[in-house]
Amino acid sequence: AALTQFFFNPDAYFYFVERIQKEGVNIPIAPGIMPITNASNLIRFADGTGAEIPRWIRKQLATYGDDTASIKAFGHEVIVKLCERLIAGGAPSLHFYTMNTTDPTRQLVLDLGLA
pLDDT of residue 115: 84
Q: Over the stretch 12-68, which tens digit does the pLDDT of each residue have?
A: 999 999 999 999 999 999 999 999 999 999 999 999 999 999 999 999 999 999 999
**Vertex 9, ends 51 and 3: CA angle to 5°?**
60
CA 109 to each of CA 40, 113, 114: distance values in angstroms, whole numbers, following the listed order: 24, 6, 5
- CATH number of the domain at 2-111, please? 3.20.20.220
SS3 4: strand
Q: Over the stretch 65-108, which tens digit does the pLDDT of each residue have?
A: 999 999 999 999 999 999 999 999 999 999 999 988 899 999 99
pTM of the model: 0.94
pLDDT of residue 93: 97
pLDDT of residue 99: 87
113 pLDDT higher than 90: yes
pLDDT of residue 35: 96
**Vertex 49, ends 111 and 41: CA angle to 5°?**
55
